[in-house]
Amino acid sequence: MENLSFKSFVVEVLENAQISRKIKTKTIDELPDGDVLIKVAYSALNYKDALSASGHKGITKKFPHTPGIDASGIVAESKNPHFIQGEKVFVTGYDLGMNTSGGFQEYIRVPSSWVVKLPNNMTLREVMIYGTAGFTAGICINEIQKHDIFPDNSNILVTGATGGVGSLAVGMLKKAGYNITASTGKTEQKNFLKKLGAEEVIFRDDLIDTSNRPLLTGKWNAAIDTVGGRTLSTVIKSIKPRGSVCVLGLVESDRLETTVYPFLLRGINLIGIDSAERPMDYRLNIWKRISEEWKIENTEFLVKEITLEGLEDEINLILKGGQVGKVLIKIS
């Protein structure tokens, strides 16, 4: 392909350690090696993207860099016969947007082993509404079910419920038939969470235990925790016998304080969730379930669609814990 130029959202760490974020022009030659070139249609904003866009060295080591761990689009060029020019595909996770130039630009070039064909009943836009957030929520539901917690009479707690992973988890769990309690710091978003399918909404400050007791009344069969810290400590003490807690995030804190009692006396399971490096077979199975049995009827009310020009404001908002639902980025 000729050396096209295209628009890219570029983050730089300046000499005074200040961060610069600008939309710049790049050329195809500047993209990393890879056997599939994709013309990006949509990307989405995740908490990890905001960390990368803030110069967080734990996520991205080298700058200038273009974040975006999610991208959907059309194959522009492929050296792997499994993918043909014009085919609709998407990528979530692996190294995309971390140390590989990511989805916040008009073209990405990636190894074909990261590329997934678009499920039959999804559009390029829809698949990005789910993106890494929905995929992660799907892994959690899958793991909860592997631990024998099925919809009949099961109550699931979702923390950080208005965020990307949280809101999709609430909607997908509802579709799967569970009863959901949503925990949020945003008192004004109760109706949003009810509309998504939460039976009960509990405010973050009311959830967090300050009693220091090793066990609290068992209220939930399972939990999907996106925040960590004191919230996760409380959740672990509040799970019913043989329940499960999916641990996936750290927006409150990367610390976890607990005793062994919930494990010894209630036999609860702490399940670590990593979405980026899941093998392709596992990945395809989760996407099949998302596109069929867990597909939320109406996702439009949880989507805010922007272009690259609107990213700066949304990055600042998500870093403050202010995101509600999913920010979708229309690229081309």
Ligand X SMILES: NC(=O)c1ccc[n+]([C@@H]2O[C@H](COP(=O)([O-])OP(=O)(O)OC[C@H]3O[C@@H](n4cnc5c(N)ncnc54)[C@H](OP(=O)(O)O)[C@@H]3O)[C@@H](O)[C@H]2O)c1
Residues 291-330 touching ligand X, rule: CB under 6 A, are 318, 321, 323
Contact call for residue 103 and ligand X (CB under 6 A): no
273 near ligand X, rule: CB under 6 A: yes
Site for ligand X in 149-188 (CB under 6 A): 160-166, 184-186
CB of 98 to ligand X, least distance (A): 12
How far apart, in Å, do the first and last CA atoms of the chain sit?
Answer: 18
Number of residues that bind ligand X (CB under 6 A): 32
Instruction: Extract the runs of DSSP E, i.e. beta strands, from the chain.
Output: 5-13, 19-27, 36-44, 70-78, 88-92, 107-110, 116-117, 155-159, 179-184, 200-203, 220-225, 239-247, 269-272, 303-306, 326-330
CB 91 within 8 A of CB 114: yes
- Tokens 């995030």, located at residue: 249
226 binds ligand X (CB under 6 A): yes
CA distance 168 to 241: 26
Q: How far is residue 226's CA from residue 248's CA, in Å, rounded to a whole number?
A: 5
CB of 45 to ligand X, least distance (A): 8
Q: Give the whole-angstrom CA distance, residue 147 versus residue 72.
A: 32
| Residue 205 CB, nearest approach to ligand X (Å) | 10
Q: What is the rounded distance in angstroms from the CA atom of residue 310 to the CA atom of residue 268?
A: 43
- Chain positions 69 to 88 lying near ligand X, rule: CB under 6 A, are none
Site for ligand X in 187-206 (CB under 6 A): 204
Of 64 and 321, the one with the shorter C-beta distance to ligand X is: 321
- The distance of closest approach from Cβ of residue 152 to ligand X in the complex, given in angstroms and rounded to an integer, is 27
| Residues at the interface with ligand X (CB under 6 A) | 46-48, 132-133, 136, 160-166, 184-186, 204, 226-227, 231, 248-252, 273-276, 318, 321, 323
